[in-house]
Structure 1
Amino acid sequence: MGHAAAGLDDLTGFLARLTALMLRSSGEGAYSIERAVSTSAQAFGGQASVVLVPEAAVLSIAAADGRIRTVCVHGLPEVIRLDQAAALKPFLADVKTGRPGVAEADRRLARIEAASPPYPWWLKFLGVLLFSLGFAPLVQPTWYEITTTAVLGAIAAALVVASVHAPRLSKILPLVASAIVSVVTIEVFTDGPAHGGPVLLMLPALFYFVPGDFLSASATELAVGLITTGAIRFVYSIFLLVQLYLGVLMGVFVTGTPLNALFDTAAHADLPKWALVLGGIVFTAGTVLAFAIPHRFFGTLLVLVYATVGVQSLFTELIRETGGTFVAAAVLAAAANLLDRNPGRPPRLILILPGFFTLTVGSLGLRGLTTLAGGYVIEGLQDLQKLITIVTAIAIGLVVGMALTHAPATTRPTSSNAPSMPQRPP
């Protein structure tokens, strides 16, 4: 590959650092980690086998001299520092072609890991706010929804920024944010059914915390054979969803509001078409700032957002919502895979993320739970049934999109003798 084979110590240190960093960026799925680690090991004359769960990985590493070492690394999955995911793409391409030695590769990886966020705190605040405002028309296309979200989204954004420097708050951030947003919504903005139910008013501000992407990623992992990773991620998604649900209930109890007020009553739409179109720009800008995506990718992501919404809307008219969501997910995955082949484009994770969010699957779970709590059993179960159906449609759509564009294999290679580190195709 253009340089001498790496020693076991150097190779282990580099691969452990790489795996931990990729784990921390794996909120949308862990299917690319094993291939990247295995390819990088081969570039330095070694081999690596990976056993994954969402927050940890066990690496078995064999150097060129035949020695083997096993290490365990940890990394909590999230998507808040996608600038690092963007930097990893050209870096891994260089490693694959054998340009840097292992010591230089490790130094470059350490610089990526230690890099400061690309945007200051006030731009992250603005990003979370714009993210909420851009999503609001998808919940209720009304001016009242936009106005309410401007206030509630600012509260949520302030909590997100505060949690960066308060690790204890970050552990229960969905619970705290939903409780505060619930109280403010009920006390200030709930004014009868004319403006929509309270949960519909809360949802855009809470959308940053809704684990719809985690739910869909877990279903995709299950579909491609990452059973353990998918199952654990699914349980974690439900845990985050329950935090949001309990926070909303706390707001109801604190304000003395009857539970039956949680019924989803939608307001009459009064937003003009241009406002709905503008919402895509606001949403994409918010996604870029909130998740630390390099701003040079904005145009590409905006096109994918409009394409996803357009395909979903068109096919929903033809084959209903589940079919429309399936086709939109397949088109999004296919487009992301094709664009990912261009070295100058964002990595697949970043390409998929904004369009992924527009499919809005996670909000169904929160709406279903709160509707059940309000005593509307049939309507609540219908929302939860719809959640399961849409999650499955997104997952299968993503898998189909990957298959149609000849995406790299995402299933784990197996061997009957893992310690022997059998050869794998490049």
Structure 2
Amino acid sequence: MDQRRTTTPALDELTVFLARLTGLLLRSSGEGAELIEHSVRSAARALGGEATLLLVPDAAALTVTAGGGTRTVTVRGFPEVFRLDQVTALKPLLTDVRAGRLDVAAADRRLAGIENAKAPYPWPLKLVGIVLFALGFAPLMQPTWYEVGSTAVLATIAAALAVAADRLPRLAKVLPLVVSTVVSVTALEVFAREPSHGGPVLLMLPALFFFVPGDYLSAAAAELAAGLITTGAIRLVYAVFLLVQLYLGVMLGVFATGTSTHALWDIAADSDMARWALFLGWIVFTFGTVLAFAVPRRLFWPLLVLVYLTVGVQSLFTKLVGEVGGTFVAAAVLSAAATLTARADRRPPRLVLLLPAFFTLTVGSLGMRGLTTLAGGHVIEGFRDLLKLVTIGTAIAVGMVFGAALTERVRRP
């Protein structure tokens, strides 16, 4: 809808730039959309105009005012978090715009360059990254070498499908269902033969962790806590939809292999890994995150520090005040540390700093475990996992909001 009173080059150029900016912010908003409006409005003011946004997770109605005219456009962008190199490059651009170092044309050229830039790592490295991401997470499910070995095979299959989906749009639409079905069949036929190796779902989860929507669930809760009701509610529904796809894929694997649903029992095998292996596992996990999510290599060390900080705080406070309290404190400390670190204009954005350490809080896996345990006929244990999902997810979200509220700068209205 066009609400122009006059047509001016300034209005046209500013609208094009802000629409492009809004689209990129939407596409990289898998962790939450609360900063989009601030970014777009501050950029518009720095360039001599005004902008307002009406947001939902995958679209925005953008109204731009400049040169005596007003224009409203609709921008769409599917939320994800798979190109964090673009998110990293966007922050210096916005800093230069706000400082007045760029006009609209120059800002739009730089933004177009960010949008059209190739991924920093070729597809083989992304595949390796997803595998390392899963291998680093595997000991958190079961600290056994068998879990690590089975994860290496299952995660390679999952990573190959994820890389293929980048080139096959039809596969991308049903990727969680396809991946979970293939991983389920392979795990049940090859790796889940002996109860001593642990429950089948515990063997599958590390390979599926890249696709589990724990980040969406916590982002939805954080948006609801921050008062973004529409955005948070829609994101919550989408996260549940992804979780159900994964669950359905696991069940299809159960039916295809003729496995009894009673085998879906959440039992962990006895640990046979040394503490040093568990400690080094987070290095593998962080390096895998860098490759899988296209994070610039220079950020590996600060991200690793935040991962160890989060894991250490969660472990310490879980012993002191229990799992929920430990998770809340860890989320608050992570959020505060990332917010403080991201304050400087030339430092990485908060989203990039948060992501690897956020995954260590593992809320998404609880949903999968709860649903499959229920399907196995273990009602009490299944509902216990689902209740823990709600409780831990809320603790993470509120902890994130709390940590940010303590440390973020107060913005002028």
Normalised-by-shorter TM-score class = over 0.9
CA offset at residue 341 of structure 1? 1.1
Q: Which of 112, 121, 125 is the matching residue for 1:119?
A: 121
> Which whole-Å CA distance do the structure 1 matches of 2:372 and 2:273 have between them?
26
Q: Which of 26, 31, 47 is the matching residue for 2:29?
A: 26
> Which whole-Å CA distance do the structure 2 matches of 1:149 and 1:176 have between them?
17
Contact 2:340 2:408 in 1 (8 A): no
CA offset at residue 67 of structure 1? 1.1
CA offset at residue 193 of structure 1? 1.8
> Which whole-Å CA distance do the structure 2 matches of 1:388 and 1:345 have between them?
33
What does 1:312-351 align with in structure 2 at a 5 Å threshold?
Answer: 312-351=314-353
> Equivalent residue of 1:49, what SS?
strand
> Which whole-Å CA distance do the structure 1 matches of 2:9 and 2:215 have between them?
38
What does 1:307-386 align with in structure 2 at a 5 Å threshold?
Answer: 307-386=309-388
Instruction: Indicate whether 1:227 and 2:229 are aligned.
Output: yes
- The equivalent of 1:48 in structure 2 is 51
> Which whole-Å CA distance do the structure 1 matches of 2:40 and 2:210 have between them?
30
Contact 1:6 1:102 in 2 (8 A): no
CA offset at residue 192 of structure 1? 2.4
CA offset at residue 345 of structure 1? 2.3
Q: Which of 194, 197, 222 is the matching residue for 1:195?
A: 197
- The equivalent of 1:153 in structure 2 is 155
**Unpaired segments ≥5 residues, structure 2:** 1-7
Instruction: Indicate whether 1:298 and 2:313 are aligned.
Output: no
Contact 1:139 1:204 in 2 (8 A): yes
| CA deviation map 1:341-362 (0-9, x unaligned) | 1233211000000011000000
Q: TM-score w.r.t. structure 1 length?
A: 0.94
CA offset at residue 6 of structure 1? 7.2
Contact 1:337 1:407 in 2 (8 A): no
- The equivalent of 1:417 in structure 2 is none
Instruction: Indicate whether 1:15 and 2:15 are aligned.
Output: no
- Residue identity opposite 2:50 in structure 1: Q
> Which whole-Å CA distance do the structure 2 matches of 1:193 and 1:385 have between them?
26
> Equivalent residue of 2:344, what SS?
coil
- The equivalent of 1:387 in structure 2 is 389
| CA deviation map 1:19-49 (0-9, x unaligned) | 0000000000001100000000001111001
- The equivalent of 2:100 in structure 1 is 98
- The equivalent of 1:57 in structure 2 is 60
CA offset at residue 191 of structure 1? 2.3
Contact 2:220 2:235 in 1 (8 A): yes
What does 1:165-176 align with in structure 2 at a 5 Å threshold?
Answer: 165-176=167-178
> Which whole-Å CA distance do the structure 2 matches of 1:391 and 1:131 have between them?
21
- Residue identity opposite 1:268 in structure 2: D
- Residue identity opposite 2:374 in structure 1: L
> Which whole-Å CA distance do the structure 2 matches of 1:168 and 1:278 have between them?
38
Contact 2:137 2:281 in 1 (8 A): yes
Runs of 4+ in 1 over 2 A off after TM superposition: 342-345, 406-409
Aligned length: 406
Identical positions, percent: 67
> Which whole-Å CA distance do the structure 2 matches of 1:308 and 1:257 have between them?
38
> Which whole-Å CA distance do the structure 2 matches of 1:29 and 1:255 have between them?
39
> Which whole-Å CA distance do the structure 2 matches of 1:269 and 1:306 have between them?
21
CA offset at residue 407 of structure 1? 4.4
> Which whole-Å CA distance do the structure 2 matches of 1:268 and 1:139 have between them?
11
Contact 1:127 1:287 in 2 (8 A): yes
- The equivalent of 1:250 in structure 2 is 252
> Which whole-Å CA distance do the structure 1 matches of 2:263 and 2:408 have between them?
49
> Which whole-Å CA distance do the structure 1 matches of 2:244 and 2:269 have between them?
26
- Residue identity opposite 1:165 in structure 2: R
- The equivalent of 1:68 in structure 2 is 70
> Equivalent residue of 2:322, what SS?
helix
> Which whole-Å CA distance do the structure 1 matches of 2:194 and 2:249 have between them?
22
Q: TM-score w.r.t. structure 2 length?
A: 0.97
- Residue identity opposite 1:57 in structure 2: A
**Unpaired segments ≥5 residues, structure 1:** 410-423
> Which whole-Å CA distance do the structure 1 matches of 2:222 and 2:98 have between them?
27
> Which whole-Å CA distance do the structure 2 matches of 1:221 and 1:366 have between them?
23
Instruction: Indicate whether 1:87 and 2:89 are aligned.
Output: yes
- Residue identity opposite 2:16 in structure 1: G
> Equivalent residue of 1:73, what SS?
strand
- Residue identity opposite 2:31 in structure 1: E
